[in-house]
Amino acid sequence: MSRRSVVIAGVGGQGLITIGSVLGEALMAKNYNVSVGEIHGLSQRGGSVAVFLKYGEGAVSPVVTQGEADLIVGLELIETVRRLPLLKRDGSVVVNDFLLPPPASKSIPTRGELLSNLSRVKSYVVDARELALKAGSEIAVNMVMLGAALATKILDLDIPDIENLLSKRFKGDVLRVNMEALRLGYQSIKE
């Protein structure tokens, strides 16, 4: 393996940057060259956001280009389909079953249309909100999706790699909720 690329797609405010930096730190701990590229600023206001993560040996640039991504982690359906051209033909998608129509837009594709687009590639659909609530807070949606991403086994990471990091970042209840969300996300793909 020379390089692996991941695209994390969603809407500003969903915690995408956290997923990117947690994955990045975990991969760095495994001595890979890591690059996590983020675009934010305006996008914090509910705009479309994509985080690009690349790792491997040799040069890793901060942009994932057409047909390059091994994995797309999508936190919202429209944004996930928007990034499909970045996916390798044999790449995988894990997607949160959540449709957030952009305000005041006229033509919104249906959930069915979006899902059928995703069914053209290897994809896993996760009800992340339900699992996050089960873990204790709707804010943990991103941890559920992170767990699901790990379960695809596309990245050279497993649950303990992330747990190590989370226990350095968080304490008490927040840590417990995040850990549980991570595990529930992981199991949702495993089954």
Does 41 interact with another protein (rule: CB under 8 A)?
Answer: yes
**Binds another protein (CB under 8 A): choice among 73, 78, 143, 151:** 78
The tokens for 27 are: 């991969």
Q: Are 155 and 36 a contacting pair, CB within 8 Å?
A: no
The four Cα atoms 111, 112, 115, 117 give a dihedral, to 10 degrees, of -120
Tokens of 164: 């190590």
CB of 184 to another protein, least distance (A): 18
SS3 for 33?
Answer: strand
Secondary structure class of 83 (helix, strand, coil): coil
Binding piece for another protein, criterion CB under 8 A, among 44-52, 143-151, 155-163, 178-186: 44-52
Q: Show Cβ contacts of residue 47 under 8 Å, excluding neighbours closer than 6 positions.
A: 11, 12
Window contacting another protein (CB under 8 A); options: 35-43, 142-150, 151-159, 183-191:
35-43
89-148: contacts with another protein (CB under 8 A): 89, 101-109, 113-114, 117, 120-121, 138
Report which of 87, 83, 115, 86 is spatially closest to residue 99, judged by C-alpha positions.
115
Instruction: Fill in the amino acid letter for 122.
Output: K
Residue 70 touching another protein (CB under 8 A) = no
Residue 180 engages another protein in binding (rule: CB under 8 A): no
Q: Does residue 176 touch another protein according to CB under 8 A?
A: no
Residues that bind another protein (CB under 8 A): 2-3, 11-12, 20-21, 24-25, 28, 33-48, 58-63, 65-68, 78-79, 81-82, 84-89, 101-109, 113-114, 117, 120-121, 138, 169
